[in-house]
Homo-oligomer: A and B are copies of this chain.
């Protein structure tokens, strides 16, 4: 018999999404978001949830654009750092040594050193509670050639992304392959 543990924001796994945006003076900023993921196939969209207290919230409202940068696991220190401090108090690109590149399709910067990034145009804003969800249409994906699989898409084993575990608040790598989707369930 299962035990009731009350309401909580527990779900496994969460992604580690580094959100790129420009502030009102055109300065690039990045922050770490765990509440997010793909939310529509056509048009391809990604949803990210932010508190109004964040610097990024106001940047997205102003520019109606953002990038979603997927860090490989070797960037765990940089990814965690940009989730702890605010763009109000420091230049997080300078602090981490990461390089901002201006997207050629939306008014937002992306991280040169990360394996691939989604360039997004704001499509919907949903007020939920402490968090506001921004739904961005994915206008383009920019990727390093060496992380592409045979189908021309980013391959998770080459990307070697992190995941975030709620509850214990820890980062993990991706583990071993289990099975092919849309396949193992047919057997």
Residues of A within 8 A of B (CB): 2-15, 17, 34-47, 49, 68, 70, 73, 76-84, 101, 112, 116-118, 123-124, 126, 128-131, 133, 135, 137-145, 148-149, 151-157, 159, 161-187
Complex interface: chain B residues within 8 A of A162 (CB): 178
- Indicate how many identical chains form the complex: 2
CB-based contact A148/B5 at 8 Å: yes
From A138, A153, A156, name the one whose CB has the most chain B CB atoms within 10 angstroms: A156
- Told that A4-B141, A42-B130, A175-B175 touch, could you supply 4 new A-B pairs with CB distance under 8 A? A11-B68, A12-B159, A35-B37, A39-B47
CB-based contact B177/A172 at 8 Å: yes
Of the residues B6, B116, B130, B159, contact of A140 by C-beta under 8 Å: B6
13 contacts between A and B (CB under 8 A): A2-B144, A5-B140, A7-B140, A8-B138, A13-B13, A14-B38, A35-B37, A83-B182, A153-B166, A156-B165, A171-B178, A172-B177, A173-B176
**What is the CA–CA distance of A44 and B5 in the complex, to the nearest angstrom?**
13
